[in-house]
Structure 1
């Protein structure tokens, strides 16, 4: 999947482009692209324990990757949106004419290509299994009602954006949530910089976003889903935080009828404190081509 490089304004407006570039339209990078994953980067480090094993399998070959993924699936037993046990199959095993999301929901089988896009998609089924199952449940339910047509509809657009490009913004301070919603980058990243790691943090979720971060660029922007967390959240270990986020976000996705793309807030990934050396200087955020005022302020 590829999106044009853009700051928050374009990310806020460019729903159609993101959705159009979703499943089945991604280019097929060479398998050697797996070697480019740098697990020391903060956006990859959260998945490094499993990811490094999968990376070695992917470099050895397509069948090796599928075998490693299925070994984890057999051991951990994640399920789809309709309770089917998860398995990973070759893309060519998807029946002709079958809808991708519907096939996963009804069979448990995730069609997987030998590329970075599907590598990161598979990893999310283990990092946040409940969120992935919730997305699959909503996607397949929409397919049941609307079928596979030339347009996805607003709910499926939103679900695709989440699946492909979401960041989970965990926050215990309402003023920081307001700064993100209001495109107040100076407050969020400069004046309240010391709050990061104590009052807010980010987890990457979108697998297309992770693919883009193989070669990060300043305008790389995710769709942030704000999750209000309890103050003691930041005292928990990473596994406990991920489990809490997994349960809370999946419940919100299943319990909210009117899902729209306007529920996201654009967030430039390289602006996150501690995620990019250059943002140690406050002047990094003076670039208005990336850190824009945004539609809401205009």
Structure 2
């Protein structure tokens, strides 16, 4: 069970998962296994998994069910079950499965298909690498054009100070479960790899459905993500009210070659 009261403080990045996360965490802290707590939330209709056909049949099972040597993604695709450990990493992975079932199924299908064709291998290849980046560390930003352009250009001062009022019109949702786990203990360098939404409404009612349609192989292989230090988002961290927060060039960096693109965390 978790050592921390993760949803007690309800920081801004957890708001989309708030009701769902609080229910699962409460059951887990009370002694229920994490797979059972996630399954109960699904049955109660707290997450998208229970509410949409895309998630029908998906269940969480103990990690011990995954046989040695069986690829994790292939097992999920073949059985409709998610092996789940009793830790925060898999807690957040489960919440993302419940909240964004269509997008998670899409990523799983892409991973499983690539593994079936190419094997696991020491090198994942461009598609599996991009899927892993987004699955572990991704986010999606619906925002006015000016914000999207400033972020794409890594124009940090313009993005966070000159255009600060426009952030009230923006919507950033974190998808990556590894990033959510790291944000349990927030640190200034924590960075999401953001999928920007060009030529689209500034927000959508169903981010899950939008993502499921947007996560196409060709688009992913082109590595369309833009790094965003998430604690720089206005309203997400008190320290960024002092604009000197953004002068740290070790965090707010200029553009770098795509070949250096990495999650910084191992896949699960």
Q: Using the alignment, how far apart are the partners of 1:267 and 1:294 within structure 2?
A: 11
Which string of whole-angstrom CA distances, capped at 9 and with x for unpartnered residues, describes residues 188-238 of structure 1? 11101000121x22111100000000110111111111124315x3xxxxx
CA contact under 8 A between 2:189 and 2:229: conserved in structure 1? yes
What are the residue-to-residue correspondences of 1:88-237 with 2, within 5 Å?
Answer: 88-171=60-143, 173-198=144-169, 200-228=170-198, 229-231=200-202, 233=203
Contact 2:49 2:100 in 1 (8 A): no
Instruction: Report deviation, 1:262.
Output: 3.0
Q: Tell me, yes or no, if the aligned pair for 2:62 and 2:85 is still in contact at 8 Å.
A: yes
| TM-score, with structure 1 as normaliser | 0.78
* 2:42 aligned residue: 73
The structural deviation recorded for 1:36 is 4.3
Query: 1:145 and 1:262 mapped to 2: Cα distance?
Result: 21
CA 58–83 in structure 1, closer or farther in 2 if over 3 Å, else same: closer
Aligned to 2:14: 44
Stretches of structure 1 that go unaligned for 5 or more consecutive residues are: 1-30, 234-240
Please give the alpha-carbon distance, in whole angstroms, between the structure 2 residues aligned to 1:50 and 1:260. Answer: 32
Matches of 1:83 and 1:181, distance apart in 2:
33
Deviation at 1:37, TM superposition (A): 4.4
The alignment partner of 1:217 has SS state of coil
The aligned counterpart of 2:214 is 252
Q: How many residue pairs are counted as aligned between the two chains?
A: 253
Measure the CA separation in 1 of the matches of 2:171 and 2:126: 28
TM-score normalised by length of structure 2: 0.87
Among 217, 227, 234, the residue aligned to 1:266: 227
What CA deviation, in whole Å up to 9, does each residue of 1:52-84 have, x standing for no partner? 111112223352x3222112334548399x976
The aligned counterpart of 1:13 is: none
- Give a deviation string over 1:169-204, Cα, whole Å, max 9, x none: 112x22221111110011111101000121x22111
Aligned 8 A contact 2:234 2:240 in 1: yes
1:288 matched to which residue of 2? Answer: 249
For 1:284 and 1:83, locate their aligned partners in 2 and report how far apart those are by CA, in whole Å. 41
> Structure 2: how far apart are the matches of 1:176 and 1:85?
39
For the residues of structure 1 that align with 2:8 and 2:111, how far apart are their CA atoms?
32
Distance 1:277 1:132 in 2: 32
Equivalents in 1 of 2:164, 2:27: separation in Å?
39
Quote how far apart the aligned CAs of 1:252 are. Answer: 1.4
The runs of 5 or more residues in structure 2 that have no matched partner are 258-268
1:150 CA displacement: 1.9
| Whole-angstrom CA distance in 2 between matches of 1:285 and 1:109 | 43
